[in-house]
Amino acid sequence: MKIQEYQAKELFSAYDVPVPEGKVAESIDEAVSIAEKMKGFPVAIKAQILAGGRGKGGGVKIAHSSEEFKEKTKQILGMNLITPQTEKQGERVGKVLVEQGVDIDKELYLSLVFDRSSSKVAIIASMAGGMDIEEVAEKYPEKIVKVRINPLLGIQPYHARQVAFGLDLPSGARKELISILNKLYKFYQEKDCNLLEINPLVLTKQEELLAMDAKVNFDDSALFRQKELSEYQETSQEHPLEVEANKYGLNYIKMEGNVGNMVNGAGLAMATMDMIKQVGANPANFLDVGGGANAEMVENGFRIILQDENVKCVLVNIFGGILRCDVLANGVVQAAERTGLNVPVVIRMEGTNVEEGRRILADSGLDFRLAKDLNEASQKISEFAN
Amino acid sequence: MSIFVNNDTRVVVQGITGREGQFHAAQCISYGTNVVAGSTPGKGGQEIEGVPVVNTVQEAVSEYSANCSLIFVPPPFAADAILEAVDAGIKTIVTITEGIPVMDMLKVKNYLQGTDVVLIGPNCPGIITPGEAKVGIMPGAIHQRGKIGVISRSGTLTYEVVYQLTQQGIGQSTCLGIGGDPVTGVNYLDCLHAFENDPETRGIVMVGEIGGDAEEKAAEYVHTKVSKPVVGFIAGLTAPPGKRMGHAGAIISGGSGTAQAKIEAMRKGGIEVCEDLGSFGDMCSQVFV
């Protein structure tokens, strides 16, 4: 789960990690009254969307006077922000973060991330803040400091020292950084993060450190024990069909093609999408109904696929293990009877109770196209889709 | 011979009183697996599917000589269940549970470092040595005893591959799913190593998917350390970047973990990669002659 910058900063503040003075606004009037209460200009206006690269798309601006502030806030609030990381159509900006400007001496990069290849929590820091860390890693690998923390032990003093000395900070700021690292690690651990990135972490001319930006992702599997994070959960930026699928416990991702597909198991679902692509068509979605799906879940999945107007034909590919083929067949028949079949549906089934499943489909009187194996299934899809 | 499980495997099912635990314990028993006990705290003394239920894994080890555990415990308690099995002296732990928090698994993984415990999963279909022991949720009937080892990150995709092998008359020595989560127990390298050293195994099938760099590392290992022929498959050529494709670990992030990169790395490592799932069995029958 991702959260907005202003929400991440609220959480940082609760852990005593320093952030610039600021507040979120949903209207121009609200933004203006926040800016008026600040020490003075410059003031930053930052679009609050989940995608990164906001600066590049014109979603982050600095104002030096109240006229400029109003003008720039107008431009950002309500705009459709397109960045290298948004979808083509961009994301609508409904909120801006209004923040006090600071005297920047240096911009640093700092992140805590779950390091998949070592199974540790890694702290990555760099003197080259403000740039993509991937870019820094490529161009100036010597500027990156990386330490790996064993989660059984937690952060040790030497970890923090190693990062602080690696960044070449004045001694006062070094102590401050060590303290920030300890707080951030605690936060990372207690809140089940899997990414926490501050880019840039700024050193001010007064030798203070401030988290100018904040990006935090949480582990979806741990949300059951992070109840207080649920208020941050937003579904407005997801496709409506994805939101609906989620309600039924289905794993559905909307895509651009026209071949709807329903599969049990994520690996087989991806492989089925690839198969559709190989015959020159494009998948309309990813849909894993799961190993333990029942007739009702299958029915819901099928109905969601058919709601996608781009869908010209549907491929159902099931390898019955826990999900038996007769259960699947019943679900598909029920869904088809309720919604009506307006596109060709190719069904390929194998595994547990396959004979019974095939009999149910044949006896339904509905016009399903049965395929005996994957090759026949892709051949039929190729005919219908192209 | 085979790897990790065989006729000497004595299974304790952790979470046997749950719906899935009970169902699959019965399936394993009817396949012929030696299930010696089930454990659920507070339910000791009962009997389920003809199997005695105990309160702790320790009892399953001391009273019933269990040496392998099959875990169906729900995500909030699953890491604890794994650690309980480790400390009770179980050497092969198969975790089916999907959705264990990453932080919990990181701790488990680091705890296991330097031990001789084989953890399979989590979020996996388990492991089967056809004709000897099925410790997992895969349909037993599609398997056939033979000489090909199968390693995969997925469940039903593995069944598809195994089914095609069996259709071609190609039997399997052992098939296992290492799991679709970002943190798993044994990885491709451990399994490749075990299959390379297993005299019964003559060839290896490796099924991968997008996300992480496990397949790339495996390809390098195959290049330098594996003498047996390896056939591979990667799912997710059409997966959009930044989206989690069902499995928690199946995500292309920051341009890394793509199917294309994995396929290239595998080919470089000398693995025969099949790009058309429908003809996987055919390809294997040509490679494993």
Query: Does residue B111 surpass a pLDDT of 90?
Result: yes
Task: Judge contact between B254 and B276, C-beta under 8 A.
Answer: no
CA distance B9 to B133: 7
Are A306 and A324 found together in one domain?
A: yes
- What domain range is A217 assigned to? 104-230
What six digits make up the tokens of A105? Answer: 């001496």
Are A355 and A251 found together in one domain?
A: yes
CA distance A173 to chain B (A): 30
A270:B245 CB<8 A: yes
Residue B153: its pLDDT value, please?
94
Per the DSSP assignment, residues forming a β-bridge with A22 are A99
CA distance A386 to A378: 12
Task: Give the model confidence (pLDDT) of B10-65 as tens digits.
Answer: 999 999 999 899 999 999 999 999 999 999 999 999 999 999 999 999 999 999 99
The band of A293, judged by pLDDT with boundaries at 50, 70 and 90, is: confident
Query: Does residue A343 surpass a pLDDT of 70?
Result: yes
Is A269 exposed, middle or buried, given 0-12, 13-18 or 19+ CB atoms closer than 10 A? buried
3-state secondary structure of B191: helix
CA angle A127, A131, A136 (to 5 degrees): 65
CA distance A294 to A262: 14
Residue A181: its pLDDT value, please?
98
The band of A236, judged by pLDDT with boundaries at 50, 70 and 90, is: low
CA distance A269 to B91: 33
Interface mutation target, options A194, A221, A237, chain B, most CBs of B under 10 Å = A221
User: Which region among A55-59, A200-204, B95-99, B144-148 has the lowest average model confidence (pLDDT)?
Assistant: A55-59
Task: Give the model confidence (pLDDT) of B63-92 as tens digits.
Answer: 999 999 999 999 999 999 999 999 999 999
User: Which region among A134-138, A378-382, B147-151, B206-210 has the lowest average model confidence (pLDDT)?
Assistant: A134-138
Mean pLDDT of B267-278: 96
Task: Give the model confidence (pLDDT) of A153-211 as tens digits.
Answer: 999 999 999 999 999 899 999 999 999 999 999 999 999 999 999 999 999 999 999 99
Q: Which of A212, A230, A248 is the last residue of a domain?
A: A230
Are A192 and A85 found together in one domain?
A: no
Which residues in A lie closer than 8 A to residue B213 (C-beta atoms)? 116-117
For residue A11, being part of any structural domain is answered with no
User: Which region among A326-335, A357-366, B22-31, B182-191 has the lowest average model confidence (pLDDT)?
Assistant: A326-335
Are A218 and A342 found together in one domain?
A: no
For residue A371, being part of any structural domain is answered with yes
The band of A235, judged by pLDDT with boundaries at 50, 70 and 90, is: low
Are A182 and A289 found together in one domain?
A: no
Q: Which of A184, A209, A230 is the last residue of a domain?
A: A230
CATH label of the domain that carries residue A226: 3.30.470.20
Q: Which residues contact B30 (CB under 8 A, 6 or more apart)?
A: none
Helices (H), chain B: 19-31, 57-64, 75-87, 102-112, 156-167, 188-196, 214-225, 259-268, 280-287
Residue B96: its pLDDT value, please?
96
Half-sphere exposure in the Cβ direction for A202 (13 Å, CA): 15
Residue B18 at interface with chain A, using a CB cutoff of 8 Å: no
Residue B46: its pLDDT value, please?
96
For residue A9, being part of any structural domain is answered with no
B278:A275 CB<8 A: yes
CA distance A230 to A224: 9
Q: Residues B74-81: contacts with CB within 8 Å, 24+ apart?
A: B74/B15, B74/B18, B75/A221, B75/A224, B75/B99, B75/B100, B75/B101, B76/A224, B76/A225, B78/B104, B78/B122, B79/B104, B79/B105, B79/B107, B79/B108, B81/B14, B81/B15, B81/B57
Mean pLDDT of A283-290: 93
A270:B239 CB<8 A: yes
User: Which region among A277-281, B68-72, B255-259 has the lowest average model confidence (pLDDT)?
Assistant: B255-259
CATH label of the domain that carries residue A80: 3.30.1490.20
Q: Which of A69, A100, A131 is the last residue of a domain?
A: A100
For residue A68, being part of any structural domain is answered with yes
Mean pLDDT of A58-66: 95
Q: Which residue has the tokens 């309309």?
A: A284
Are A92 and A62 found together in one domain?
A: yes
Are A108 and A92 found together in one domain?
A: no
**Sheet with B51-54, side-by-side order of all strands:** B47-48, B51-54, B35-39, B11-14, B68-71, B92-95, B118-120
Of B111, B155, B242, the CB nearest to A265: B155
The band of A85, judged by pLDDT with boundaries at 50, 70 and 90, is: confident
Are A366 and A247 found together in one domain?
A: yes
Q: Which helix (H) or strand (E) holds A242?
A: helix A240-247
Complete domains list, chain B, with CATH: 1-123 (3.40.50.720), 138-289 (3.40.50.261)
3-state secondary structure of B12: strand
Are A252 and A355 found together in one domain?
A: yes
CA angle B42, B43, B46 (to 5 degrees): 155
Residue A65: its pLDDT value, please?
96
Residue A135: its pLDDT value, please?
82
Are A222 and A244 found together in one domain?
A: no
Residue B118: its pLDDT value, please?
98
Helices (H), B113-256: 156-167, 188-196, 214-225
Active-site pick, A109, A185, A188, A252:
A109
CA distance B28 to B6: 13
Residue B22: its pLDDT value, please?
96
For residue A146, being part of any structural domain is answered with yes
Q: At what angle do helices B280-287 and B156-167 cross, to 10 degrees?
A: 60
Pairing of the two strands A144-149 and A91-92:
unpaired
Which residues in A lie closer than 8 A to residue B235 (C-beta atoms)? 267-268, 270-271, 274
For residue A73, being part of any structural domain is answered with yes
Produce one character per residue of B239-256: b if its CB has 16 or more CB atoms within 10 Å, e if not.
beeebbbbbbbbbbeeee
For residue A10, being part of any structural domain is answered with no
Amino acid at A42: P
Rounded alpha-carbon distances, angstroms, from residue B185 to A119, A211, A248, B116, B191:
10, 36, 30, 12, 11
3-state secondary structure of B53: strand
Query: Does residue A339 surpass a pLDDT of 90?
Result: no
**Dihedral angle sign, alpha carbons of residues B55, B61, B64, B68:** positive
Q: Tell how far CA B29 is from the center of its chain.
A: 19
Measured between CA atoms, the residue of chain B closest to residue A1 is B244
Residue A319 at interface with chain B, using a CB cutoff of 8 Å: yes
The total of structural domains in chain A comes to: 3
Q: Which residue has the tokens 């650690």?
A: B83
CA distance B267 to B263: 6
The band of B197, judged by pLDDT with boundaries at 50, 70 and 90, is: very high
Query: Does residue A237 surpass a pLDDT of 70?
Result: no
Mean pLDDT of A4-11: 96
CA distance from start to end of chain B: 20
Of A219, A266, A278, the CB nearest to B245: A266
The band of B171, judged by pLDDT with boundaries at 50, 70 and 90, is: very high
Amino acid at B289: V
Asked if A185 is an active-site residue, the reply is no
CA distance B134 to B57: 20
Interface of B with A in 123-182 (CB under 8 A): 125, 137-139, 142, 152-160, 163, 180, 182
Are A121 and A203 found together in one domain?
A: yes
Residue A243: its pLDDT value, please?
87
CA distance A196 to A124: 10
For residue A2, being part of any structural domain is answered with no
The band of B270, judged by pLDDT with boundaries at 50, 70 and 90, is: very high
The band of A77, judged by pLDDT with boundaries at 50, 70 and 90, is: very high
Q: Which residue has the tokens 């070449």?
A: A168
Are A146 and A90 found together in one domain?
A: no
Task: Judge contact between B232 and B208, C-beta under 8 A.
Answer: yes
Query: Does residue B252 surpass a pLDDT of 90?
Result: no
Rounded alpha-carbon distances, angstroms, from residue A113 to A117, A206, B56, B201:
12, 29, 35, 39
What six digits make up the tokens of A269? Answer: 């679902």
Query: Does residue A298 surpass a pLDDT of 90?
Result: no
Half-sphere exposure in the Cβ direction for A40 (13 Å, CA): 1
Task: Give the model confidence (pLDDT) of A99-109 as tens digits.
Answer: 999 999 999 99
Measured between CA atoms, the residue of chain B closest to residue A289 is B246
Which residues in A lie closer than 8 A to residue B106 (C-beta atoms)? 114, 119-121, 151
CA distance B147 to chain A (A): 22
User: Which region among A60-74, B51-65, B186-200, B247-261 has the lowest average model confidence (pLDDT)?
Assistant: B247-261
Measured between CA atoms, the residue of chain A closest to residue B143 is A351
CATH label of the domain that carries residue A266: 3.40.50.261
The complex's ipTM?
0.91
